[in-house]
Amino acid sequence: MVSVSAKKSVARYLISSYQVSERRACNLAQLARKTYRYTSIRPPQDALRRRIRELAQTRIRYGYKRIHVLLRREGARINHKRVHRLYCEEGLQIRSKRPRRNLSAAHRKGKIQATQANQYWSMDFVSDRLETGNKYRALTMVDVFTRECLSIHPGKHLKADHVVDVLDRLIKKRTSP
């Protein structure tokens, strides 16, 4: 969304650079002509703007609400909506913190690198649905170094006994990692 002052400056530029009429310039800038001609009678509030900027620079993580409280404590009789407007016009909005995502296993610190085959195995459960709508799960065992699939054990319900059985069979077939 473009501010009114930006639209006014666009209209002024069109009028001065291209000798376009005021009506045409306002139409192109999507601005009402009455708004273009309006001059504010509100005092500029430079002292208040400076004080808000100073508070925001000294207390970096404070938003407009907290700055409003500080101004009230200093004795300024000011509405929170005015503080918010001036705070936004000065471009002091606090950047919202990005939510921390859970780190996947691939990006964790201390990741063990396999240097030879059959050194580390990894296992995971995979689930899907059949065309009939029935759900099934599969236990997959993979060699980390060669990325060879050592075993896939499908089943409707896989319990700890199944995992132990699959591991025992793999250890008998190969040496243990």
Using one digit for the tens of pLDDT, what is the confidence trace for 108-157? 556 668 888 888 889 999 999 988 989 999 999 999 889 899 999 998 88
Note the pLDDT of residue 47.
94
- Rounded CA-CA distance 86/45 in Å is 9
Kindly state the tokens that stand for 30.
Answer: 């999507």
Residue ranges per domain, the chain? Answer: 1-39, 43-94, 117-173
- Rounded CA-CA distance 39/7 in Å is 14
**Contacts for 32 with CB less than 8 Å, ≥ 6 apart:** 26
Q: Do β-strands 135-143 and 121-129 pair in parallel, antiparallel, or remain unpaired?
A: antiparallel
**Residue 122, SS3?**
strand
Considering the entire predicted model, what is its pTM?
0.46
Rounded to 10°, the helix 80-89/64-73 angle is 120
Q: Which residue has the tokens 């005021």?
A: 22
58-77 pLDDT tens trace = 998 899 999 999 999 999 99
10-65 pLDDT tens trace = 999 999 999 999 999 999 999 999 999 999 898 889 999 999 999 999 998 899 99
Residue 104 gets which letter from DSSP?
A: P
Scanning the chain, the segments in alpha helix (DSSP H) are: 4-18, 22-28, 33-37, 46-58, 64-73, 80-89, 160-173
- Rounded CA-CA distance 91/98 in Å is 19
pLDDT of residue 1 exceeding 80, the answer is no
